[in-house]
Chains A and B, each alone.
Chain A
Amino acid sequence: MALKESWNSRLGVILAVSGSAVGLGNFLRFPGQVAQFGGGAFMLAYFISFILIGLPICWAEWTMGRSGGQNGFNSSPGILQAIIKHPAGKYIGVIGVLVPLVIYLYYVYIEAWCLGYSLNFIRGAMEFGSIEESTGFWATFIGAAKDGSAIGFGITQVGGFLIFCFALNFYLIYRGLSKGIEFFCTYAMPALIVLAIVILVRVLTLGAPDLSKPDQNIVNGLGYLWNPSKVVMQERSEDGGSWNTVTEIVSRENIEIHETQAAANENLRVIEIGIFEQLRRPNLWLAAAGQIFFSLSVGFGVIITYASYLKKEDDIVLSGLSATSANEFCEVSLGGLITIPAAYAFIGIAGVAGMGTFDLGFKVLPMVFSNMPFGNLFGFLFFFLLFLAAVTSSLSMLQPVIAFLEESLGINRKASVTMLGLITALGSMFVVYFSADVKALDTLDFWIGTFMLYILATIQIIIFGWVIGIEKGFNEAHQGASIKIPSVYRFLMKYVTPTFLLVIIAFFVMENMLGWTPWGGESQVSGYVTDLIGGEGKPANPVALLSVGLIAVIFIFLTIITAISPRFKEFMKQEDPQ
């Protein structure tokens, strides 16, 4: 009989779970969101979302995972079936395998970018004079120009780095939970924090790098990120009916210059948008809740699997809070102080406003580092930090699928690793081949890496609060607990969190799919939807269709395995001998 795997130590599981959560989003996505939505207002909504969504789902996943593990299951289908004691549970649980598997297909590709960038920095090949130059490097490196162009094995192409990342992930996964994932995270997580602190000190001591532009300095960069009120210059629309924001202004000198400009032109004005005015915007709440959600890795199917390897007497309340707080520390205290201030100091507001994760990370920051004293070293350190963060996350995406294959098919580690290696290699080849405009990656990320996370997390919190029952769930959570979950969470986890999530899903579908913005603005169906059904005079996008087809094929494959698995059937027979 196969031996049951387990974690080696409590600190190890905390580091593994926080390693799963800490990723590119902490250092690139979070600061971009804070800057876009206004520091104070966004952080208020962010902390409220942390309390109402992040912690409840986190504790629910830890509890259900450990409970499923006591029934002998480590995969999401097995765990959910064991918890709700109905075959429907195993089919719902398929989402918990589908999500990490599909995300891995493109995440490992991005991981390879980070490794490639770090090595190219240390060999001095990243000298950029403008954003156009760094964008050009990125496009060549990842093959953004046309499909098939990413498949190359030079030092400035992604192919070799991708193979290395694949090999590293599967070597660590093959070594097992404790000697693979836990071993790597035990070193990688502290190393990552040390690297981030070194880079943070470098960034905060930059001052004003260009003496001819003294207002482009780190303090103003921090102000752009954290100021609770936003000062913007607006221009009257051509029909004279509305005012459109032209730019945000941070420094006092610039405010005065823009005010003088506005005084001389009646079609311009400078206004201050206060914190409460910003908080009235529903899309700020959607963004803050979304950031908490993606950052903590809730709804991924990862925590539930990781927690299933714990023993009945192991604490999960403090461990869950610790892993969550480690992620928040990396995000707010490190990520929130590094990227945007550095980019602002070198490029100014025009270079950072409205930048997406990839634009900021792989186009703007390389240019920033290449212009910084000792930039090659700090560029190497920063992208190596991102690489470590990415590996600890990608490992966590493989373990739920490994557990599922071993459990459902009754195969050993060698067979499961070989099978998963084959599936992910084919899937990643698809993503890498269709690299033009990162269309395949973007499509998979939207439908699985974004939308499906909401769905899985909502299902999990409803199961915890309404199927298991809040009292039973709390009793289960408190077995072996070092600290108590505050009683108010009984009410929050049963009523508030599911309602909050359902509202978020409704807004997400309205705004990000159907393009309907009830708070004003033009309505336009999302590009992700028109990619699939066509629209605005354009036919459906074949790569987007193939990407959704790939998701469907994987989902059907996982569902068939789940349906025929004797292990899952046996459990139900034991539970219901009739």
Chain B
Amino acid sequence: MTAGGWIVMIVSVGTVTSLFTWCIYKVMTEEKVEDHHIHGLDIDTPDQPPRR
């Protein structure tokens, strides 16, 4: 692998990894954070009213 190859790889991987990390950080630290709860095994289609 040439020096150019290392540079291309590090810049490419570094750019997308930084962008992804920044986006996730931004989403997770937003003021409008919603409660994120994982659903159980209930079915939730428009066919039936939601279970409370």
User: Taking beta carbons and an 8 Å cutoff, which residues of A are in contact with B?
Assistant: 2-5, 8-12, 14, 39-40, 43, 47, 174-179, 182-183, 186, 219-220, 222-223, 225-229, 250, 275, 315, 318-319, 321-322, 325-326, 328-329, 331-333, 336-337, 406, 412-414, 482-483
B12 to chain A, nearest CB (A): 5
Rounded to whole angstroms, the CA-CA distance of A176 and B15 in the bound complex is: 36
If A5-B45, A413-B47 touch, whether A318 touches B26 (CB-CB below 8 Å) is yes
Q: How far apart sit A277 and B6, CA to CA, in the bound complex (Å)?
A: 20
Cβ-defined contact, A318 with B23, below 8 A: yes
Q: Which of B2, B5, B19, B34 contacts A328 (CB 8 A)?
A: B19
B2 touches A223 (CB 8 A): yes
The docked-state distance in angstroms from the alpha carbon of A10 to that of B34 is 7
C-alpha gap A249/B22 in the complex (Å): 38
Is A325 a contact of B19 with CB atoms below 8 Å?
yes
Q: Is there contact, CB below 8 Å, between A219 and B1?
A: yes
Is the pair A322, B39 in contact by a Cβ cutoff of 8 Å? no
CA distance A219 to B1 in the complex (A): 6
Which residues of A have CB within 8 Å of B8?
A: 39-40, 43, 226-228
Q: Which residues of B contact A183 (CB under 8 A)?
A: 38-39
Known contacts A179-B44, A412-B46, A322 near B2 by CB under 8 Å: no
Q: Which residue of A lies closest to B24 (CB)?
A: A322
Residues A228 and B49 in contact in the complex (CB < 8 Å), given A178-B44, A186-B38, A325-B23: no
A176 touching B45 by the CB < 8 A rule? yes
| B52 CB contacts on chain A under 8 angstroms | none
Report Cα–Cα, A340/B44, bound state, in Å.
42
Task: Scan residues 30-52 of chain B and give those whose CB is less than 8 A from a CB of chain A.
Answer: 30, 32, 34-39, 41-47, 49-50
Whole-angstrom distance between the alpha carbons of A315 and B32 in the complex?
10
Does the CB pair A325–B5 fall under 8 Å?
Answer: no
Least CB distance from A42 to B in Å reads: 9
A8 to B28, CA, bound (A): 15
User: Please, which residues of chain B bring their CB within 8 A of the CB of A412?
Assistant: 45-47
- Not counting A8-B37, A40-B8, A332-B12, a sample of 11 additional A-B residue pairs whose C-beta atoms are within 8 angstroms of each other reads A177-B44, A226-B8, A250-B1, A318-B27, A319-B27, A326-B24, A332-B16, A412-B47, A413-B46, A482-B26, A483-B26
Name the CB-closest residue of B to A323. Answer: B23
A229 adjacent to B43 (CB under 8 Å)? no
Task: Find the B residue at minimum CB distance from A331.
Answer: B16
Residue numbers in A under 8 Å from B4 (CB-CB): 40, 227-229, 275
Ordered by A's residue number, 18 sampled pairs between the chains whose C-beta atoms are within 8 Å are A4-B46, A14-B27, A47-B12, A174-B45, A176-B44, A176-B46, A177-B44, A179-B42, A226-B1, A227-B2, A228-B2, A228-B7, A250-B1, A315-B32, A325-B19, A328-B16, A336-B13, A482-B30
Main secondary structure of the interface of A (DSSP, over half): helix
B1 touches A8 (CB 8 A): no
A9→B36 contact, CB < 8 A: yes
Asked whether A175 and B46 contact (CB < 8 A) given A11-B27, A227-B2, A322-B23, the answer is no
Structural contact, A325 and B20, CB atoms closer than 8 A: yes
CB–CB A3/B49 < 8 A: yes
Instruction: Check A228/B5 contact, CB under 8 A, given A9-B36, A183-B39, A483-B26.
Output: yes
On whether the beta carbons of A39 and B9 are closer than 8 Å, the reply is yes
**Given A322-B24, A482-B26: A3 and B46 within 8 A (CB)?**
yes
Identify the interface centre among A4, A322, A483: most chain B CB within 10 Å of its CB. Answer: A322
Most buried by A among B2, B4, B45: B45
A163 to B47 alpha-carbon distance, docked (Å): 26
Given contacts A219-B1, A336-B13, contact A2 B46 (CB under 8 A): yes
Selected contact of B12 from candidates A14, A43, A176, A186, CB within 8 Å: A43
Instruction: Verify A229–B16 contact, CB threshold 8 A.
Output: no
**Closest chain B residue, CB of each to CB of A14:** B27
- Taking CB as reference atom, which chain A residue is nearest B14? A333
A325 to B24, CA, bound (A): 9
| Contact residues in B for A4 (Cβ distance below 8 Å) | 46
Shortest CB distance B19–A (Å): 5
CA distance A562 to B50 in the complex (A): 30
Contacts of B15 in A (CB 8 A): 47
Q: Which of A3, A220, A319, A332 contacts B13 (CB 8 A)?
A: A332
Least CB distance from A183 to B in Å reads 5
Chain B minimum-CB-distance residue to A414:
B47
Output the least CB separation between A305 and chain B (Å). 15
The distance in angstroms between the C-alpha atoms of A406 and B16, with both chains bound, is: 38
Minimal beta-carbon separation of B36 from chain A (angstroms): 4
Closest to B49 in A: A3
Give A312 Cβ to nearest chain B Cβ, in Å.
13
Q: How many angstroms from the CA of A465 to the CA of B49 in the assembled complex?
A: 39
